Copies of this chain bind each other. A is one copy, B any other.
Amino acid sequence: MGKQIPIPIRGLYGMIDVTDVTEGGPPSGALAQALLDGGARVLQLRMKHGGAGAMLAVLAELRGVCGDRALLIVNDRLDVALAGGADGVHLGQDDLALADARRQVPPGFVIGISTHNEAQAAAAIADGADYLGFGPIFPTSSKDRPDPVVGVARLAAVCAASRVPVVAIGGITLAAVPSLVAAGAAAVAMISAIHQAPDPVAAAGQVSAAFGVR
C-alpha cells in the first residue's frame, strides 16, 4: 500500500494465458519474449488448468526470459507466486481478499485487483491495492461470464479518482488504445489483439509507443 512498485506499470500489461497457449498459440516463453520485445514491462501468468507444479515450471521459464526487466505477476494463486519468486499476484473479485493476501506477502510484493465498477475500484484503492484492473472496457469473448461493459467514460472517472495505476482490460483493440491513454489508463491488458496479430512484437510496440514507453 502506497509503496513504490519496483518497475512502473505503464504501457502494455502483457498477458500469458497458458490455456490460450496450449490451444495452438506460441509457447509461453516465446510469447513472453515477443511481449518484452514490444516493450511490455509486466507479464501476468494465467493458468486456469494444471496444478501448482506446472504453473511453477512456466513461471520459471518466464523468469528465464524476462530476468528482472519485467514484473512477473501470477493470477489468483498467491501460494504459487510466493513459491516461484514472482513479483506480485493479481486477484479477482472471487479470489482471496486483498487484506488476506497482504498478510501473507513480504514488503514490496505487488497486489493488483480486478475491478468492474466504481465501488469495487474505490474499495480496492482503500484496501491498499498497488494497481487496479478495470473493465471490461469493451465487449469481450475472452471470459465465459463477462461482467457488464464499463466503457471509456467510466474508465476515465476511475482513473481520475485513483492514486494507483489503472490497467484497462477487456476487448481492447489497437485502434482503441489512444482513447484509453487519453482517459488516463496507466496501461492496457490485451490478449487477442496482440496474440493474434500477424506481428505480435509490432503490435505490442505500437501499444507501448502510444503510452510513450520506449
Residues of A within 8 A of B (CB): 51-54, 56, 76-80, 82-83, 92-97, 100-101, 103-104
Interfacial chain B residues near A101, Cβ < 8 Å: 79, 83
User: Are the CB atoms of B83 and A97 closer together than 8 Å?
Assistant: yes
Interfacial chain B residues near A95, Cβ < 8 Å: 51-53
User: Are the CB atoms of B96 and A76 closer together than 8 Å?
Assistant: no
User: Are the CB atoms of B52 and A80 closer together than 8 Å?
Assistant: no
Interfacial chain B residues near A104, Cβ < 8 Å: 79, 82-83, 104
A-B contact pairs, 7 of them (CB 8 A): A52-B96, A53-B95, A56-B97, A56-B100, A77-B79, A83-B97, A83-B100
Closest 3 interchain pairs by CB? A83-B100, A78-B79, A51-B94
Interfacial chain B residues near A54, Cβ < 8 Å: 94
Given the complex of chains A and B, what is the CA–CA distance between A53 and B113 in angstroms?
14
User: Are the CB atoms of B96 and A53 closer together than 8 Å?
Assistant: yes
Interfacial chain B residues near A96, Cβ < 8 Å: 52-53, 56, 79-80, 83
Could you say which of B56, B82, B94 contacts A52, with CB atoms under 8 Å apart? B94
Given the complex of chains A and B, what is the CA–CA distance between A51 and B79 in angstroms?
14
In the complex, what's the smallest C-beta–C-beta distance from A120 to chain B, in angstroms? 13
Given the complex of chains A and B, what is the CA–CA distance between A193 and B136 in angstroms?
46
User: Are the CB atoms of A51 and B80 closer together than 8 Å?
Assistant: no
Given the complex of chains A and B, what is the CA–CA distance between A95 and B56 in angstroms?
9
User: Are the CB atoms of B94 and A53 closer together than 8 Å?
Assistant: yes
Interfacial chain B residues near A79, Cβ < 8 Å: 77-79, 82, 96, 101, 104
